[in-house]
Amino acid sequence: MVLQKRLDYGFNGYEVPHTPRAARSPRKSAFKKKNESHQISSFDLLAAVAGKLLLEGGNSSSSSNNASSGNNDDQCAVKTEPLNGRDTTVEEETTNNIAERSFFVSEILPKSHEIQSYNRSPSPLTEFHFGSSSGVTSDSSEKFETQELVYEDTKIDNSDCYRSECNDNKSMLGGLNFEAKLSRNVVAKDENHIGSGFRKPIPQNPSLCSDDIDLLGKENDDDGENLSARYRTKSFRSTLRIGNHFASKYCKVSPKPRDTTTVTNSDLDMKHGYYSKKHCLKSQRLERNYPIKKRRYFDGYTASQSEENAKTEGLSGSPRKTSGFLSSIACQKQPAVQSRDSHVKLGIKSFRVPELFIEIPETATVGSLKRTVLEALTSILGGELRIGVLVHGKKVRDDSKILLQSGISLDTLSDTLGFCLEPNPPQSTKPLPPEDSDYVRPCNVPHTLTRCLPSPGKHAKPSNSVESDLDSKPSAPNRAKTIYSRALIPVRPLHVQALTVVPPRKTKRSVVAQRRIRRPFSVAEVEALVQAVERLGTGRWRDVKLRAFDNAKHRTYVDLKDKWKTLVHTARISPQQRRGEPVPQELLDRVLTAHAYWSQQQGKHLLLEGPKKLETSLGL
DNA sequence: CTTAGGG
DNA sequence: CCCTAAG
């Protein structure tokens, strides 16, 4: 019942982030004044459903499978049911079974059923009925993965293994995907974390996700990318899942329990089932030395800029990174409801909780595992639950927008609308030091997914020597006994693919380029940079790179240029305003001197005898 | 691929 | 750090 309570909280707190930015493809024509007055509030309902889902989850292990089926019967737009209705004993529940314990949030809404999305209901909960749906049979363990997107009328095959797997099974198992990590530490089971988002559970594993912190910086950046980044950070890992099972199911990779690399790879593969190996290699290489120049799409949903954009942008908005959250709520347009009221009818097929990482000892009991997962889950969603709306994979944050304004219309609904659950005030959890971009993955997989790979020993690495810093070779994760898997369920925005003539799935590579982890320059690096610039000037960053940072694979000449820029700025502001590791004034002075010198030099344009070295000029 | 700058 | 227009 505690869950119920939280559910309520979540409800109250529900609020879609504001989205200042206009729709990618403002289609004025789409604005039918007729609908302007309509405000969609069904999201609230969705939130309610989600909450309900939680509730179900919380009780699933001990209560009946119809915990909430006693609600309204009519107009139940969404049905929810604990996947694992039958209450199996702990002994019986294998890891897989646990995973299987996802929650079936909803079924395809019968055509006849319609959700009057526009009518704000004072009591959202009443609009959703959480009845029990068809039972999930034993084989469900093989399909615990949620159905990502289910198209009723448009059978779109995105071809990624993960997806197709799902489609194979008629049973749309929505729900929670569990990902567990076995380790020596048990996630604390205290309840202090309630309401604090997943802050609690995560800290247990500081090495899992490290970098996201700085991502939280820009708060009002309406840019989709940034938004994504933010969410990735705050809401990261919310999908619980038993990696091994997942791997075996969705990836070719043979599941090897306790094999970190394998599992990880599996996940990666899963995520990029259609990712060509070749591309992986390339990607890796790129990331290794230089920033990937491809547009980054957020977790899961990614595509090469050229291809994806070309394919979808022109049609109905550019695909954007989607939030890292789950979004396996499938909605669909009701074919026969082209009614003039232009009401959007959508059926929610399933929910999936965002990815989540938990740590639990291998020796823990299944029961404790369940408990842990449950706790982690509730802690995540417990705080404030809310629903995110995705249109073309892009989050729509402006609640005031009408559907049409957001690009949600009868014509495109089924292909563009998506939802995602997200813990409210996304708490920035203690990010775990992400693996270095140079990290060499066991197999050729998109680097992006390694973001949370454990990187022991990388924490306290106060580099004093330029050497060490310049050549910060990430230590390879060493967790033989840890089962680590990731469950980044790609939130594939419904592409307009179905509506376009573009040949479906043609080299639909997805490059999940992730923002590089922030790696503040150390004093030593600054020193090296300054020295190099003094000698080479400020217009030869490549040379600077080669000269002083040739071994620092993670520093590109662009980085150096940027750093110089900031150094110059830093040198000009008062020491009080400076942040981060303090740079010796001496260096800053040199920065200013060199900057002034080279600026002048550049201005002089005198290359008669070649640019004199600053050093020479200064008599150094 | 590099630069140079704005974001 | 990212993204990109220019060269």
Domain edges within chain A: 2-431+483-499, 523-618
- Nucleotide whose C1' lies closest to the alpha carbon of residue A554: C1
Nucleotide nearest to A539 in CA–C1' terms: B3
Give yes or no for a contact between A404 and A39, defined as CB atoms under 8 angstroms apart.
no
Asked if pLDDT for residue A564 goes beyond 60, the answer is: yes
Q: How confident is the model at residue A408 (pLDDT cuts 50, 70, 90)?
A: low
Quick check: A557 pLDDT over 90? yes
Q: What is the pLDDT of residue A543?
A: 92
Q: Which of A34-48, A84-98, A388-402 holds the top average pLDDT?
A: A388-402
Among A389, A283, A414, residue whose Cα is nearest residue A44: A389
Look over chain A and give the mean of its residue pLDDT values, rounded to a whole number: 44
pLDDT of residue A602: 73
Average pLDDT estimate for A483-492:
32
Is A566 (CB) below 7 Å from strand C? yes
Higher model confidence: residue A417 or residue A110? Answer: A417
Buried b (16+ CB within 10 A) or exposed e, A548-570: bbeebbbbbbebbbebbeebbeb
Give the pLDDT score at A438. Answer: 33
Q: SS3 for A81-129, per residue? A: EECCCCCCCCCCCCHHHHHHCCEECCCCCCCCCCCCCCCCCCCHHHHCC
Nucleotides in B strand less than 7 A from protein CB: 1-7
| Average pLDDT over every residue of A381-403 | 52
A45 close to A127: Cβ distance less than 8 angstroms: yes
Q: What percent of chain A has pLDDT over 90?
A: 11
With residue A422 as reference, give the H or E element that holds it: strand A417-423
Residues A297 and A374: beta-carbon distance below 8 Å: no
Task: Report the nucleotide nearest the CA of residue A562, measured to C1'.
Answer: C1
Other Cβ atoms less than 10 A from the Cβ of A252: the count is: 12
Please report which confidence band the pLDDT of residue A349 belongs to, taking 50, 70 and 90 as the band edges.
low
Please report, rounded to whole angstroms, the spatial distance between the CA atom of protein residue A137 and the C1' atom of nucleotide C3.
50
Provide the pLDDT for residue A284: 36
Chain C: nucleotides under 7 Å from a protein CB? 1-4
Q: Is the CB of A519 under 7 A from strand C?
A: yes
Quote the CA–CA distance of A545 and A203 in Å, as a whole number: 37
| pLDDT at site A599 | 86
- Tell me the CA–C1' distance in angstroms for A565 and B3: 14
Residue A377 is inside which H or E element, if any? helix A366-382
A511, A572 Cβ separation under 8 angstroms: no
Residues 165-204 of A near strand C (Cβ < 7 Å)?
A: none
A293 in contact with nucleic chain C (CB within 7 A): yes
What CATH architecture does domain A523-618 belong to? Orthogonal Bundle (1.10)
